[in-house]
Amino acid sequence: MKQRVWALALAAALLLGGCAPQAPSESELHRYEASFLTLFDTVTTIVGYAETEEDFQRTAQAFHDELLEYHQLFDIYHDYDGVNNLKTVNDRAGGAPVEVDGRVIELLLFCRELAELTDGRVDVTMGSVLSLWHEARSDGVDDPAHAALPDRAALEEASEHTGFSLLEIDEEASTLRLTDPRARLDVGAVAKGYAVERVCRAAPAGLLVSVGGNVRSTGPKPEGDAPWVVGVQQPDGGKQDYLHTLYLSHQSVVSSGDYQRYYTVDGVRYHHIIDPDTLAPARLWRAVTVVCPDSGLADGLSTALFLLPQDEGAALARRCGAQAMWVADDGALLYTDGFMELVRT
């Protein structure tokens, strides 16, 4: 479902330190890893320690099951029996309010705050515009010889059907309504990180989770309180080509970039991170990585900072208590003041 999932610079394969169970320590804990392919259309990897594999698998399965509920609720592409999700809200745009699970209401309240915080850089009401780019990209990937850009007039017309003024949120009734029949929600810049954060808050301490590159730790390793180590992938590099490896204990790491979800038209690469001001892919950076405790905020900030000049992005990161790294087109690296304190190599 997620529009920007493929632009993340962190992959599940970057969870460093090995995946085989280690020899038992004094506490008789072993290291285990579980992976799932059923959540947010990407790979979910959970790494942790337990006395037995059965104990760990119960923890991993419980994590999966809760995250699956969020996946279904936030999906804009698929229907599920007995579930009014964001696709339901989009399908009924211009009609009567749709009663939804309270978790959907909470997501969109968070998204509204994020839109205000980022001065509209992260706006989940941009679905009418993003759907045109999604369709053009899908067609271009399927048939590269005939790849084409979305029609400019169509993009500008679609942009007239955006804005939170078109979304009615009734917290008491737990309903949503898009007042414009052509308005659409697309929560791809936020939903995955937001869902990961909510599930991790209730998960046992000492797990390292990667959901399509949204990496979140629920605390240090239980043996010696050692931090986890997570790699930040180099744009256009292989899975083991890192710009840095970072220490992570109670934080989240999320990256956005131009190099994983894109298509080519007349020799020019067009990625999926669309600037609301230009209605076209942003061109300031190759990638941006954000580190902060909240995975949902990190997810949104990685998009916002990708769309902003470095000084404006750094100021936003400071206001949010986040650290960030930018990768320029020439490969130069820029950092917020405290980012290097997180770096292992």
Structure tokens at 266: 């007349």
By CB atoms closer than 10 A (0-12, 13-18, 19+), residue 231 is: buried
Cα 240 to Cα 130: distance, rounded to the nearest angstrom: 31
- Predicted confidence at residue 72, as pLDDT, reads 98
Q: Are 268 and 145 in contact (CB under 8 A)?
A: no
Q: Which CATH number fits domain 86-178: 2.40.50.140, 3.40.630.10, 1.10.1040.10, 1.10.3980.10?
A: 1.10.3980.10
- Predicted confidence at residue 3, as pLDDT, reads 36
Domain residue extents for the chain: 86-178
- Predicted confidence at residue 240, as pLDDT, reads 77
Q: Are 42 and 48 in contact (CB under 8 A)?
A: no
Outline where DSSP puts E strands in the chain: 30-39, 42-50, 98-99, 167-170, 175-178, 208-211, 214-217, 228-233, 242-248, 252-257, 262-265, 268-271, 274-275, 280-281, 287-292, 323-327, 333-335
179 three-class SS: coil
pLDDT along the chain (345 residues), means of 10: 35 41 60 94 95 96 97 97 98 98 98 98 98 97 97 98 98 98 97 97 96 93 92 85 95 92 94 96 97 98 98 98 97 97 96
pTM of the entire structure? 0.91
